[in-house]
Chain A
Amino acid sequence: MHGWATFWAGVIIVSLAAFTGLAIVVTIGGWRDLLALLRHDSKPAKPDRKSLTD
């Protein structure tokens, strides 16, 4: 059982580290993408094309 406990402790530590890295990367990258989307969406639609949110 103690072998398993050590193994699961390692899995948890690796997961916490990976999740922290993921959270930082996605927060920064997602913010840039969201701004780009909102800028694109706030432009007036051309007469011959419909807006994405129509």
Chain B
Amino acid sequence: MYAAQKGFTGGLAALHIGLIAGAVCFLVGVTGFIVVPLREAGVMTIPEFYALRFGPGVRILGGLLLSIAGILNMGMFLKAGGIFVTALTGLNDPAAVNVVMAILISLVVLYTILGGMVSVVITDYIQFVVLSFGLLVSCVYAIRAVSWQGIITAVESIHGAAGFNPLDGDGFGVGYLIWMGFVAGLISCAVWPTAVMRACAAENTQVVKRLYTWSSIGFMTRFIIPQLLGLCALAYFHASNQVAVSVNNHDMTLAALPAFLAQILPVGVIGLIGAGMLAAFMSTHDSYLLCWSSVLVEDVIHPVAGGQWSTRTRLFMVRTLILLIGIFLYVWSVWYPMRQDMLDYLAVSGAIYFTGAFAVLVFGIYWKRASTMGAYLALLCGLLALLGLPPVQELLGLTQDNLGFRLTEACVGLGTTTLAMVLMVAGSLLFPDSTRELQKD
């Protein structure tokens, strides 16, 4: 849905995100950048690499920041799910979103706690099959409903030249292009834990390279296909003169795709898409709930508590955390005021983790002198990414009126990444690890 929203709000130029994500993933596959050394290190998670390279303290801090960023990151998934269901089914009452969200999160938490890993595998498969074929069928109906010329006319009329050219400063611009190449490309395939886990579990480094080379198709199409549907929704509502009121309202642009699908799809296909999206919602939530609660227990709480817990105790902690995270997600979804496109929210909240993690991983892998202090500084620097959230900017007075320019997500994200790398180098040079620690490495 967030990709479709970007197609709706950015026009054809938004397609650059998928193109650049696929190209970067392909390059990672060809070169093996980050992922091959991680596989060679024999670790299964990134915090494990932190422990191996920098010690247990960095593992705990890295795991904590990863969990915070991950939980905040999925904070808006629930709202997107609620908006999708209400818009698709035509529930117009604003309170209906909250009720749907409560039902969805209760279902997901319950079956994730009871089902565990097998439920994740099965729902992931069902989600993929139903949703991928449902999306293809929807594309056929969507293009037939608006025509290619209809899309061109709508983009030209609403976004102008910036809706076609991603380099145009009135639209995305070069900064956003670099930011998306970094986030949607490099980070999501080589630094984000759910993707890295695949590389670490691969049979050997050749398999890792092949996996990433072929995955580039998926990385490209997972943006472009939903964006095409978002573009069709834009053309459809433009033709019926409904688009002008909604293009700057983030909740309405998020609801544009399901509202469009509800109007063009025949009975039966709507059900298929609704089921596919619900399955996608469930499988995304269960994977993330298991991932973040496991990271919190295995990389933060268990090591801090002395590392002597039994498997049963750790499982109990994981299940308790799944419940607590579920409650937090509901509260966050109801309370947090969404003032940016969902893709930008995902990039900024994820940046709390990945801006620091990128510096720690790259220097930890490719620079022998990278030190523990440098790693601590780089990881903590990631917290500055919070400045990319509009409510935080308003709270700190970093608004366009006060600064004279808009502090964009790309500006904050790239700035934080650069600063994290500088701190990693400076910290390593000023506070090198002791000779004994280096010899141990």
Is the CB–CB distance between B15 and A1 below 8 Å? no
Is the CB–CB distance between A23 and B136 below 8 Å? yes
* From A9, A31, A53, contact of B118 by CB (8 A): A53
Q: Once bound together, how far apart are the Cα atoms of A12 and B143, in whole Å?
A: 12
| B122: Cβ under 8 A from any A Cβ | yes
* From B117, B132, B220, contact of A52 by CB (8 A): B117
Q: Once bound together, how far apart are the Cα atoms of A26 and B215, in whole Å?
A: 11
| B418: Cβ under 8 A from any A Cβ | no
Is the CB–CB distance between A53 and B225 below 8 Å? no
Q: Write the nearest CB–CB distance from A27 to chain B, whole angstroms.
A: 5
A22 cross-chain contacts in B, Cβ below 8 A: 132, 217-218, 221
A20 cross-chain contacts in B, Cβ below 8 A: 136
Q: A19-B225, A20-B136, A23-B132 are in contact. Are A8 and B164 (CB under 8 A)?
A: yes
Number of A-B contacts (CB under 8 A): 73
Q: A1-B161, A8-B12, A22-B218 are in contact. Are A30 and B224 (CB under 8 A)?
A: no
Q: Once bound together, how far apart are the Cα atoms of A9 and B149, in whole Å?
A: 11
Is the CB–CB distance between B19 and A11 below 8 Å? yes
Q: Give 6 CB contacts A-B under 8 Å.
A: A1-B164, A4-B12, A4-B164, A5-B12, A15-B221, A23-B128
Q: A12-B15, A23-B129 are in contact. List 4 more A-B contacts (CB 8 A).
A: A5-B164, A22-B217, A23-B132, A53-B116
Q: A12-B224, A15-B220 are in contact. Are A26 and B128 (CB under 8 A)?
A: yes
* From A12, A23, A30, A54, contact of B133 by CB (8 A): A23
**Which interface residue of A9, A22, A34 has the most chain B CB atoms within 10 A?**
A22
Q: A8-B12, A8-B15 are in contact. Are A30 and B136 (CB under 8 A)?
A: no
B274 cross-chain contacts in A, Cβ below 8 A: none
Is the CB–CB distance between A41 and B12 below 8 Å? no
Is the CB–CB distance between A18 and B12 below 8 Å? no
B301 cross-chain contacts in A, Cβ below 8 A: none
Size category, A interface = 20 to 34
| B125: Cβ under 8 A from any A Cβ | yes
| B18: Cβ under 8 A from any A Cβ | yes
Kindly report which residue of chain B lies nearest to residue A26, judged by CB atoms: B128
Interface residues of A in 2-41 (CB under 8 A from B): 4-5, 8-9, 11-12, 15-16, 18-23, 26-27, 30-31, 34, 37, 41
Interface residues of B in 304-342 (CB under 8 A from A): 311
Is the CB–CB distance between A19 and B136 below 8 Å? yes
| B139: Cβ under 8 A from any A Cβ | yes
Type the 1/0 row for B121-132, where 1 means its CB is closer than 8 Å to any CB of A.
Answer: 110010011001
Kindly report which residue of chain A lies nearest to residue B220, judged by CB atoms: A15
Is the CB–CB distance between A9 and B129 below 8 Å? no
Q: Write the nearest CB–CB distance from A44 to chain B, whole angstroms.
A: 16
Say whether chain A's binding surface is mostly helix, strand, loop, or mixed: helix
A12 cross-chain contacts in B, Cβ below 8 A: 15, 224, 228
Is the CB–CB distance between B122 and A34 below 8 Å? yes
Kindly report which residue of chain B lies nearest to residue A50, judged by CB atoms: B311
B132 cross-chain contacts in A, Cβ below 8 A: 19, 22-23, 26-27
Kindly report which residue of chain A lies nearest to residue B132, judged by CB atoms: A23
Q: Once bound together, how far apart are the Cα atoms of A54 and B133, in whole Å?
A: 34
**Which interface residue of A19, A34, A53 has the most chain B CB atoms within 10 A?**
A19
| B380: Cβ under 8 A from any A Cβ | no
Is the CB–CB distance between A27 and B217 below 8 Å? no
Is the CB–CB distance between B136 and A15 below 8 Å? no
| B344: Cβ under 8 A from any A Cβ | no
Q: Write the nearest CB–CB distance from B140 to chain A, whole angstroms.
A: 10
Q: Once bound together, how far apart are the Cα atoms of A27 and B14, in whole Å?
A: 28
| B152: Cβ under 8 A from any A Cβ | yes
A30 cross-chain contacts in B, Cβ below 8 A: 125, 128-129
A16 cross-chain contacts in B, Cβ below 8 A: 136, 139, 225, 228
* From B139, B152, B156, B221, contact of A18 by CB (8 A): B221
Q: Write the nearest CB–CB distance from B168 to chain A, whole angstroms.
A: 10
Q: Once bound together, how far apart are the Cα atoms of A16 and B152, in whole Å?
A: 18
Is the CB–CB distance between A11 and B224 below 8 Å? yes
Is the CB–CB distance between A27 and B129 below 8 Å? yes
Q: Write the nearest CB–CB distance from A46 to chain B, whole angstroms.
A: 17
Kindly report which residue of chain A lies nearest to residue B19, judged by CB atoms: A11
Across the A-B interface, give the 4 residue pairs with the lowest CB-CB distance, nearest first: A4-B164, A23-B132, A19-B221, A15-B224
| B165: Cβ under 8 A from any A Cβ | yes
| B431: Cβ under 8 A from any A Cβ | no
